Amino acid sequence: MSLRIGDDAPNFTAQTTEGEIDFHQWLGNSWGIIYSHPADYTPVCTTELGRTAHLKEDFAKRDTKVLAVSVDDLESHKGWVKDINETQNCDVDFPIIADPDKKVSTLYNMIHPNASTSATVRSVYFIGPDKKIKAIITYPASTGRNFTEILRVIDSLQLTAKHSVATPVDWKEGEDVIIAPAIKQEDVEGKFPKGHRVIKPYLRYTPQPDK
């Protein structure tokens, strides 16, 4: 059965470039991203892992840990990391899971038989501190991920987890948000003291509550 938003994120133990980890224990009370790569020494993945390394501080300030998975073995990963650091001018210091038996890839439904029976698609799972899946983005193997969007999704998930709001189309950190329909109009002023504007009874905007 494929994983869906709201499901428990399956736990596992695995060997990684940063040592053996128990996923849930490693995640602790942080947010997490686990994302897959079709194989080592592939060009698009090399750029993605380099980009992840460059965004280290951006993930840290969002209290988000990143974990990559590729179906090759640990020795292959170690050699690939050297190439990534060299070609992307970075320092990859986050874990990359060695998954030659495809245990983690299968657990997280990262192998789609109609695309490939062996290589993973580019899945991204966003996982909350409660160890539940909050969002999923899946790209084909040929399309590199948009990390600006990945950070935007984290910002939205963290904001909407704390406040009774939703984020509108193309929303970015600091912009107005939408008041959840479940909030009664008579309760809006008390709940959103920064003010609000009503476009339609079901479409109400307010400044981002935590800014």
**Beta pairing class for 64-70 and 31-37:** parallel
Distance CA 97, CA 202 (A): 45
Alpha-carbon torsion (142, 123, 109, 171), positive or negative = negative
List 34, 45, 153, 157, catalytic entry: 45
Roughly what angle, to the nearest 10 degrees, separates helices 43-54 and 147-162? 50
Please provide the DSSP assignment of 41-69 as one string: T-HHHHHHHHHHHHTHHHHHHTTEEEEEE
If one counts every other C-beta atom within 10 angstroms of the C-beta of residue 106, the result is 12
Residue 66: what are its φ and ψ, rounded to 5°? -115, 135
90 is catalytic: no
In the block, residue with structure tokens 């736990």: 11
Q: List, edge to edge, every strand of the sheet that includes 165-166.
A: 165-166, 177-179, 203-206, 197-200
Active site residues: 45
